[in-house]
Structure 1
Amino acid sequence: MDYLHCMSIIILSLLISVATTTTTGLKACNFPAIFNFGDSNSDTGGLSAAFGQAPPPNGETFFHSPAGRFSDGRLVIDFIAEGLGLPHLSAFLDSMGSNFSHGANFATAGSTIRPQNTTISQSGYSPISLDVQSVQYSDFHRRSSSLSKQGVFADLLPKQDHFTQALYTFDIGQNDITSGYKLNMTTDQVKAYIPDVLRQFSNAIKNVYGQGGRSFWIHNTGPLGCLPYILDRFLVTAAQVDKYGCSTPFNQVAQFFNTKLKETVIHLRKDLPSAAITYVDVYSIKHTLITQAKKLGFEKPLIACCGHGGKYNYNGHRKCGSKMTVNGKEILIANSCKNPSVRVNWDGVHYTEAANEWVFNQLVNGSFSDPPLPLRMACHRMDH
């Protein structure tokens, strides 16, 4: 066992010890609702409602049909809801069969924090950036107050005190990083606009706080350089690949973003004295899963389960669920692998349900959180 690995284990043990010590005597929070903001990592049907359903085989493992998620099953946000004893979140944009009594999901796949000067057909980025999600939340909050008193809506909308008692979850920023590379920017140019991205992120948090939100659960961004679509699209050279097969430059930019995000959180704690803000190091969890996949019971962490061809089973023109007409008959050419339960990556961009569940199981106890509070304690503010 090398020195760094030993130190990682020691530090993790200390974090768990601190988490146990600091939570002694604290009561578990009663979160009656969750309001989520984000991108495809936490989209439970927003983009599908607006631009068309994520096609089969998405959803095959848990929902047994497409369910608005870019995965074979549940996402981390689904496990968070289950962990708090709440139903899965309905997407704000989905009018079909939605129940918002326990919160709402404003995330859409392809969302960025900063608005993109492009259309979804040009770049794939959602026009529903974080500022739009913030407006949607504000409108939802305002209209719930009056509509919840009218007939059937009383059972479909949150009670007014739920907005203050709710957990506000954020998982967004990944697409802001990649958007610059798609415009052929250099790494230095991408890093240069990250402070503005995080300024706009900070504004979104302050908007929720201004409307009574007090408990915030913020995920940092994952190791982008380990995603098949990054490795395929950006033609990473051998010199840029680490010993695990991931792109070092993309992972370094993700870590730079995360460092600045954590600084933003520290400033927010000073600016919002009544807020309990938890910063969750999802990067470390996902990086461990990918680099230690075999030890953890997973396989082929850099190869998409659902895709078509190429080194990483990823083709940007034939994504998961793509069909082709052969001899007048439509056939699925980008199908899922035989056993998604042992795979990390679902479609080149997103994770499998099994991977999402593993990630959730690592973060739920607070050992990767700052402050090191478990999910159920995230309403408590700790001095820093």
Structure 2
Amino acid sequence: MASSDILLHSLTLTSFLLILFAVPIDSHRPRRCYESIISFGDSIADTGNLLILSDPNHLPHFALPPYGETFFHFPTGRHSDGRLIIDFIVAGATALDISCLKGKGVPSDITNVSLGVQLNIFKEILPSLCSPPSDCSEFLSRSLILMGEIGGNDYNYPFFAGKNVDEIREMVPLVINVISSAIRELVDMGGRTFLVPGNFPIGCSAAYLTMYQTENMEKYDPLTGCLKWLNEFAEHHNERLQIELNRLRKLYPHVNIVYADYYNVVLRLFQDPIEFGFMNRPLSVCCGAGGPYNYSPSRLCGDGVPYCDNPSKYVNWDGFHLTEHAYRWIAKGLLKGPYADPAFNSYCFDSKLQNSSPDKDMSLSL
């Protein structure tokens, strides 16, 4: 298998649907607390769904050590060394359907777990989650609904298939429209609180840095070492997403739509890594081998490659995903500010987030 095929395969080994229910709620707390969390997304949010769906005789690489070694001490199906963002708040999924991607010449044959597919599955099982089923609208109104991260793989697939960046920019309105349509449908079903993440600074991803490495130093941010043009693409997606979310807020003034600024909270970790407990210039991956960023598409984490002694010093875990320590800071930046817009009250969330991190201000100048 060619290295490009292995890289594409690793991108498709992500989750399709994460639905967390029955979040424990203290009966003495105010009613404003969320009684459940519903999450649609990809590998950034997958706590083990894709692993359950996998052939037990042909387990994916993220089902093998050292995945999960920091917290769980064994692989759980999470694409990290430990917990994810959603774990602190209490994987090839795309926004676009596979037919749309194929129509644009984008290969994505291994999974068909688009946002539309996820939403249809959710609607099928929703009646079994409500008691009685006629209370489903009320159930959704008391839930925190995470819409992503979703959309990143819609860009990962064509980038790693060699598509031109201008071609990929034409997909941004399509991706935004699918996310918006899903939010509108869930609002009609009773949803009242949405957390909608933007895209990560993909120019800081070891996989992208490896594929697009160049001797032209003007392509790199001198402070972080990230590829500027790829981060600018992510910023374009995020700007368009925020414009659409503002439109939805006006359309549904009774709905709380919160933008989760994954881009700036992660970029903050690369801009001043030592401030947050990471090593200087933490672009290399903890689990990997080869190349200037310790990443090779032909030697994936979980396939017997070495990994670092202290993952908490790294932001990048395996080339595409981050470490538990990085995800902890992202969650803190959302819950305690200033990377959620508008800010939402974190009183109802588990205190383990605050107990597991030093009380550092994430709002230091960008």
TM-score of the superposed pair, with normalisation by structure 1: 0.74
3-state DSSP of counterpart to 1:279: strand
Distance 2:202 2:346 in 1: 25
The alpha carbon displacement at 1:146 in A equals 7.4
Match of 1:357 among 325, 328, 341: 328
Quote the sequence identity (%): 35
The alpha carbon displacement at 1:148 in A equals 8.1
* Residue of structure 2 in register with 1:162 after alignment: 139
The alpha carbon displacement at 1:144 in A equals 3.0
Match of 1:42 among 40, 45, 58: 45
1:236–1:201 CA distance, 2 compared to 1 (3 A): farther
* Residue of structure 2 in register with 1:313 after alignment: 294
Distance 1:227 1:312 in 2: 9
Contiguous gaps of at least 5 residues in structure 2 = 1-29, 350-366
Match of 2:163 among 178, 185, 190: 185
Distance 1:305 1:358 in 2: 17
Distance 2:155 2:347 in 1: 31
The alpha carbon displacement at 1:226 in A equals 0.2
Match of 1:340 among 280, 299, 311: 311
Distance 1:265 1:255 in 2: 15
Please state if 1:76 is matched with 2:58. no
The alpha carbon displacement at 1:271 in A equals 2.4
3-state DSSP of counterpart to 2:332: helix
Distance 1:279 1:363 in 2: 9
Instruction: Note if contact 1:364-1:374 (Cα within 8 Å) is conserved in structure 2.
Output: yes
Per-residue Cα deviation, 1:293-340 (whole angstroms, up to 9, x for no partner): 123220141000001221111111211011xxxxxxxxx2x1321011
Distance 1:168 1:123 in 2: 26
Per-residue Cα deviation, 1:7-43 (whole angstroms, up to 9, x for no partner): xxxxxxxxxxxxxxxxxxxx78311100001111111
Please state if 1:140 is matched with 2:140. no
Distance 1:144 1:36 in 2: 15
Distance 1:235 1:263 in 2: 32
Instruction: Note if contact 1:177-1:254 (Cα within 8 Å) is conserved in structure 2.
Output: no
* Residue of structure 2 in register with 1:226 after alignment: 204
* Residue of structure 1 in register with 2:234 after alignment: 254
The alpha carbon displacement at 1:182 in A equals 2.7
1:198–1:236 CA distance, 2 compared to 1 (3 A): farther
The alpha carbon displacement at 1:185 in A equals 2.4
Distance 2:76 2:119 in 1: 24
Instruction: Note if contact 1:366-1:374 (Cα within 8 Å) is conserved in structure 2.
Output: no
1:236–1:197 CA distance, 2 compared to 1 (3 A): farther
Per-residue Cα deviation, 1:101-145 (whole angstroms, up to 9, x for no partner): xxxxxxxx1211112346xxx658642111111111111213434
Instruction: Note if contact 1:367-1:373 (Cα within 8 Å) is conserved in structure 2.
Output: no
Distance 2:231 2:330 in 1: 18
* Residue of structure 1 in register with 2:151 after alignment: 173
The alpha carbon displacement at 1:47 in A equals 1.7
Distance 1:28 1:289 in 2: 35
Number of residue pairs the alignment of both structures matches: 304
Instruction: Note if contact 1:111-1:125 (Cα within 8 Å) is conserved in structure 2.
Output: no
3-state DSSP of counterpart to 1:168: strand
Per-residue Cα deviation, 1:64-118 (whole angstroms, up to 9, x for no partner): 111110000000111012xxxxxxxxxxxxxxxxxxxxxxxxxxx1211112346
The alpha carbon displacement at 1:237 in A equals 4.8
Distance 1:216 1:366 in 2: 17
* Residue of structure 2 in register with 1:298 after alignment: 278
Contiguous gaps of at least 5 residues in structure 1 = 1-26, 82-108, 150-157, 323-331, 379-384
Per-residue Cα deviation, 1:150-194 (whole angstroms, up to 9, x for no partner): xxxxxxxx9874322000012212112222323332222211221
3-state DSSP of counterpart to 2:156: helix
* Residue of structure 1 in register with 2:70 after alignment: 61
3-state DSSP of counterpart to 1:294: helix
Match of 2:248 among 268, 277, 283: 268
